[in-house]
Amino acid sequence: MDQRENFAAQLEAINQANEKVQKAAAQLNKDSADFLIKVATGTYSAAVAYGNALVAGGFVVFFTVWSYTRQFVPEWAVLTTALMMALSAMLFVGFEIYKMLETQFLALALPNVVKATGGDLSQAIVKYQQRAESQLRRMFFVWMFVFPLTIASGYGAVLILVTFFVRALLHPLPGIAE
């Protein structure tokens, strides 16, 4: 084997090794991307579940406290706080229903997106991702209106309730055990 053949064999070995490294790097990138997607999805799901549990717990606590303290609160404040909390709950639940429907429509759209692209999965993924991003922007736009109203009505009700309850503690009504 002369020097040229030796050099060609070494170059071929280097090219093969380079291809293996590139394939391994591509697989590592794919595995890393899959892992990051799983982590992000899991984190988002846990955050949504935690947020929903927190809000539901807040409503339960409010209505429990409201039912035990309403005797210390004027009738108009009892009705106003109940109405405000009902509005807050309706807004929150309404948004959750809207979000659920949007998510279901997105999930149902995947087969149609794949069919529309003629089975080209890379093109289908891009189109589906564009659709999902558009849906997320729509939901965020709706949430930007719903969230402040939910918070304002909920905390407004709590503020009214606490104000009158503290007032009753500081200045007890006649006939109520002190």
- Tell me: the pLDDT tens digits for 103-147? 888 888 877 777 777 767 777 788 888 888 888 889 889 989 999
Q: Domain of residue 43: give its range.
A: 3-170
pLDDT at 91: 94
pLDDT mean over 40-67 = 79
Q: Is the dihedral of CA 169, 175, 176, 178 positive or negative?
A: positive
Asked if 149 and 91 touch (Cβ cutoff 8 Å), the reply is yes
Whole-number Å distance between alpha carbons of 136 and 36 = 19
pLDDT at 62 over 70: yes
Per the listing, tokens 């093969």 go with 16
- Listed ranges 86-100, 127-141, 164-178; the one with the highest mean pLDDT: 86-100
pLDDT at 88: 93
Asked if 81 and 66 touch (Cβ cutoff 8 Å), the reply is yes
Number of domains in the chain: 1
Is 124 among the domain residues? yes
The secondary structure of 47-113, three-state, reads HHHHHHHHHHHHHHHHHHHHHHHHHHCCHHHHHHHHHHHHHHHHHHHHHHHHHHHHHHHHHHHHHHH
Q: pTM for this one? A: 0.65
Residue 87 banded pLDDT, cuts 50, 70, 90: very high
Instruction: Read off the amino acid at residue 104.
Output: Q
Is 177 among the domain residues? no
pLDDT at 98 over 90: yes
Is 126 among the domain residues? yes
Mean residue pLDDT of the chain comes to 81
pLDDT mean over 9-14 = 77
Residue 80 banded pLDDT, cuts 50, 70, 90: very high
Is 27 among the domain residues? yes
Is 175 among the domain residues? no
Residue 172 banded pLDDT, cuts 50, 70, 90: confident
